[in-house]
Amino acid sequence: MNYLDRYKLWVNNSYFDKKTKEELELIKNDNKEIKDRFYKNLEFGTGGLRGVIGTGTNRINIYTVRRATFGLANYILNKCKEEGKSKGVVIAHDSRHMSREFCLETAKTLAACGIKAYIFDDLRTTPQLSFAVRHLGCVAGVVITASHNPPEYNGYKVYWTDGGQVCLDIAEEIINEVNKIEDYSSIPTTTEDNKLIVMLDESVDTAFVEAVKKQVIRQDIINKVCKEMKIIFTPIHGTGNLPIRRALKEVGFENVQVVKEQEMPDSKFSTVKYPNPEEKAVFSLAIQMAKENGADLIIGTDPDCDRVGVVVKNTDGEYVVLNGNQVGSLLVDYVLTQKQEELKSMTNPTIVKTIVTSELGAVIAKSFGVDCLDTLTGFKFIGEKINEFEINQDRTFIMGYEESYGYLIGTHARDKDGVVSALLISEMAAFYYDKGMTLYEGLEEVYKKYGYYKEELVSMTLKGIDGMEKIKSMMANFRNSNIEKIANIKVEKINDYKTGIDDLPKSDVLKFILEDGSWIAVRPSGTEPKIKFYFGCNGEEKSEVDNKLQQMIKEITSL
């Protein structure tokens, strides 16, 4: 069936509602738009769905959400039988357009298949969903979110029994079940009052916050500075407001202010271009507040509260955004420093990071006698390692992190957790505050000890069918380019993860390792229409590293 046939089917089939048909009527003379919406089914990838909200098979809407859920339900019924039905699936959602509707559609399709569906009364964070899967003993979990994407997007992520995102093998089997569904009108649904749809109470919230609070290392330091140290927090219109403020308050931080303009959920994210804590622009209001009251720390989380951005004063008194590599390295140094005695009794203590994350954390870990393992990009692979360590009992997970502002301390969740990260970052800031230092000065101390490391990410957005083809072409060109030198530094090794190396699953990533330890990685984004270029350099002198990094970026982007 071609895209026009699919379009006509949706227009004429009585299964699709009036609102859907009205939206399709508006594009009846726009062949390009019809093609983009119907040339394929929105792909259920290894992490689930993510796409622009709208009508069509290549959009996220109640029908594509039902299709994804029916595929998941069939997998559960085939794999887990009656046990899967009774254990059920827990569903959470963020503050985006249609998130509540998609949550309810997921629950109704699961219930129509005889599977218990747990839902929350309102929005909840992604890490709490991860926690809730294990806390409730569910067979799976679903979170409706598009993370930090622009407001026109939404998404659908699937978690398995261990609380982590579904591993590649399970994801492939679910994808196969989803791909079998061609007739949307065959997908079952029910009403919201179905007895298999269970509303959760606040006990799950309390259990999650208690688990987060257990990760505090130096309560004595918090008690010492909690009245003086000033924290500003922004949830950027998302889910982080209540759990983060609750956790900070319950461990003792008294001087916490929230950015009022960004406090309440807002599906338009009206104060920012898009709600990504990697961008300094989202902190404009928070920085203005900080300048007025002399705040020591600014923290911001994305809509589903799994990513955390940090803003601190530099040595000139200016507020600067620390990147994910910097915060991750600071956390590694702080956590290992404070846990030195505990490490001695642990079985092979280990931190886990991704292949596109700075090597500084690995260098710090080594100095403490702690292993550092690399995974593919995506926190799901870090979550898999936690489960693997627990099954094999050969390693102890200390923390995991990735350059894209995601961190996890502890094992209460199996995905990056903005709540525990905000808490530990605040504790770490309190530690340096007690020494008369900022986090920025703490980072400078780390550089003095281990060497200067700098990383940068350059992304190119290429939307639509043409953009997808261009990204494929770029990856092919880099694979065939036979690059021998970058910035006049010899390329010592090229890791092509698509061939399956380092005991990692195959992935469309290229990494060029230079003879001085610098590196460049290239990969298509798994969640956005982008190709991403990662650069990493290190050395003794800041100016030397900065110059080298800029030359590398110039050469690679010119290709």
Catalytic residue among 147, 267, 421, 507: 147
Report the phi/psi class of residue 521: left, alpha or beta, with left for phi > 0 and alpha for psi in -120 to 50: beta
- Max CA pair span of the chain: 70
Q: Check if the beta carbon of residue 163 is closer than 8 Å to that of residue 414.
A: yes
**CA–CA gap between residue 277 and residue 309 (Å, rounded):** 5
Core vs surface per residue 498-525: b (16+ CB within 10 A) or e: eeeeeeeeebebbbbbbeeebbbbbbbe
Single-letter amino acid code for the residue at 523: R
Q: What does the block give as tokens for 10? A: 């949706």
**β strands within 360-499, DSSP E:** 371-375, 396-402, 406-409, 452-461, 485-486, 489-496
**CA–CA gap between residue 206 and residue 437 (Å, rounded):** 33
The DSSP code for 165 is: B
The DSSP code for 260 is: G
Q: What does the block give as tokens for 177? A: 């079940």
Helix (H) or strand (E) holding 64: helix 62-87
What residues contact residue 397 under an 8 Å CB cut-off, 6+ apart?
350, 352, 385, 386, 389, 411
Q: Is 367 a catalytic residue?
A: no
The DSSP code for 246 is: H
Catalytic residues: 147
